[in-house]
Amino acid sequence: METVYVDRIIDSISPEMGQSKPMGIKASNDKKYLLKTQLVNIEPYGIIKNEDAAFAQEIIAYELAKELNIPVPGYAVLEVEPEFLTENMDYCFKYHITKPGLYFGTEFIPDIQKKIMENYKTEQKCKYKHAAQKLTSAFDVSNSQAYADIIALDCFLLNGDRFTNQGNLIITSGTRKDRKVYAIDFGHCFFSPYWNNEKKELFNKLLSNPKDTDQFTNYCINIMLSIGQNCKKNPFGDVFSKMENYIYFKNTNPFSDIVKKIENISTSKLRQILYNVPDEWMVDGDFERDKYISFLSLNKHNVRKVITLMYNAHAFRHSNKGDELKWPIEKTIGIQ
């Protein structure tokens, strides 16, 4: 995992969106990054919360996405030195960068479609047909298989922060041939950005009953449905609705390859990923690492079930009506 130093601020690339308001910087490897913080201003209450599992969860997800060939920006562990903080005190405070240390950052992708947001707002406010059409075509990208792959990854990592959140997919500009979608922002995976008792209970729900996982998968689907409940177009959310519009089922199961790949992720790969997370990003050290490893090595077998439940809950408009979703035979049966 690459660690680089933060050299200087680049104000012009700092985005306006997002709860944690990432800060634009140039690093010692000459690349531009958006540096994130775990101290987040919870709107509209004005309370600052320490999302103490966010960096670890980001890095776990980015490493898994890389392993699975799912498009994400490059990323690095960014070191903020005391001198940098002293020299840029006011600016850093504005972005809640309050102490030196290691921060998570993604490589800045220039030229992303800002219009997507405006079209969302227009669509929501006015029900203009052309706004809805424009927004739908904005999602028409050259790598559209990525939509199914990202959904499968989010099911594996219990990411409750994409299907209704307009800021966590980025799509580049240009003609359809040049347009690409990337998944970003995995800080809220495992249904929260915190390492706390709730997270331990969530993991234990599966870990304490590994042979009967139906209850756990139903529980996950219910959480996803409750997050998406205000969305008229699709029970899983507005953004989900835009993604699933490009997922086709004719004579095929568009999830079978990615699910096979997820099921084949080895426990040793998971160990390698978790043991490379910087110590200062783990709240509970190796205990926490081992919980993530055990959870993920069980939950990888649940992804096909969760997607089947979504399919049965009419999440996909191009599904073959009345058909069951067919899967290839599972290679690894049971629990290792």
Place of tokens 């030229």: 111
The residues facing 102 across adjacent strands are 79
- Indicate the residue among 1 and 335 with the shorter CB distance to ligand ADP: 1
Interatomic CA distance for residues 140 and 99, integer angstroms: 42
Residues 151-180 that bind Mg ion (CB under 5 A): 167-168
Q: E strands along 122-259, which residues?
A: 169-171, 181-183
Binding mask 108-147 for Mg ion (x = CB under 5 A): ----------------------------------------
Q: How far is the CB of 72 from ligand ADP (least distance, A)?
A: 9
Binding at 163: pick from ligand ADP, Mg ion, none (beta carbon under 5-8 Å per type) = none
15 touches ligand ADP (CB under 6 A): yes
Binding at 74: pick from Mg ion, ligand ADP, none (beta carbon under 5-8 Å per type) = none
Q: How far is the CB of 169 from Mg ion (least distance, A)?
A: 10
Q: How far is the CB of 327 from ligand ADP (least distance, A)?
A: 32
Q: How far is the CB of 21 from ligand ADP (least distance, A)?
A: 6
187 touches ligand ADP (CB under 6 A): yes
119 touches ligand ADP (CB under 6 A): no
- Residue 157 CA neighbour count, 13 Å, CB half: 29
237: left (phi over 0), alpha (psi -120 to 50) or beta: left
Token pair listed for 299: 């939950």
Other beta carbons within 10 angstroms of residue 176's beta carbon come to: 10
Interatomic CA distance for residues 183 and 309, integer angstroms: 23
Other beta carbons within 10 angstroms of residue 233's beta carbon come to: 16
Interatomic CA distance for residues 43 and 24, integer angstroms: 22
Binding at 254: pick from Mg ion, ligand ADP, none (beta carbon under 5-8 Å per type) = none
- Phi/psi of residue 304, nearest 5 degrees: -65, -35
Measured from each CB, the residue nearest to Mg ion is: 185
**Rule CB under 6 A: which residues touch ligand ADP?**
15, 17-22, 34, 36, 73, 106-109, 112, 167-168, 170, 184-185, 187
**Rule CB under 5 A: which residues touch Mg ion?**
18, 167-168, 185
